Amino acid sequence: MQIAYNARDLTEAHIIAGLLGAHGIDSHVGGHYLQGGLGEIGAAGFTNVQVDDQDYLEARRLIAEYEGTATNDGRRIPPADDSGEFYARWFLMLMLAVALGFVLVL
């Protein structure tokens, strides 16, 4: 088995698994027990969707279509930038600047 998709959370992994199942590809969602380790807040990055080796390329093609990164003529377009990630980077930079300011004052 190969990992065809790394999901953000368990719900997204099951959506992808359902998409693959609707196209006749058996899949397995892993990471169910890892999510509870962080409490009620949904843990990110612990779940994945696995498919058999012979179904991997077709699964990746279907996932690319689902994500909107493939066109009908086979060309690939980049996915939209995740604005949440953009704000997280700036927040971390701001916190680093504040911490550096405290260190320089002391």
CATH of domain 2-80: 3.30.70.1530
- The helix or strand, by DSSP H or E, that contains position 101, with its residue range, turns out to be helix 83-105
Judge whether 105 and 99 are in contact, CB under 8 Å. Answer: no
Q: Which residues pair with 75 in a beta bridge?
A: none
pLDDT in tens, the chain (106 residues): 888 988 887 888 899 999 999 999 999 998 776 655 555 555 555 788 999 999 999 999 998 888 876 555 555 555 555 555 667 778 888 889 999 988 888 7
The structure's pTM equals 0.58
Judge whether 35 and 46 are in contact, CB under 8 Å. Answer: yes
pLDDT of residue 20: 93
Closest residue by Cα to residue 56 from 48, 44, 45, 47: 48
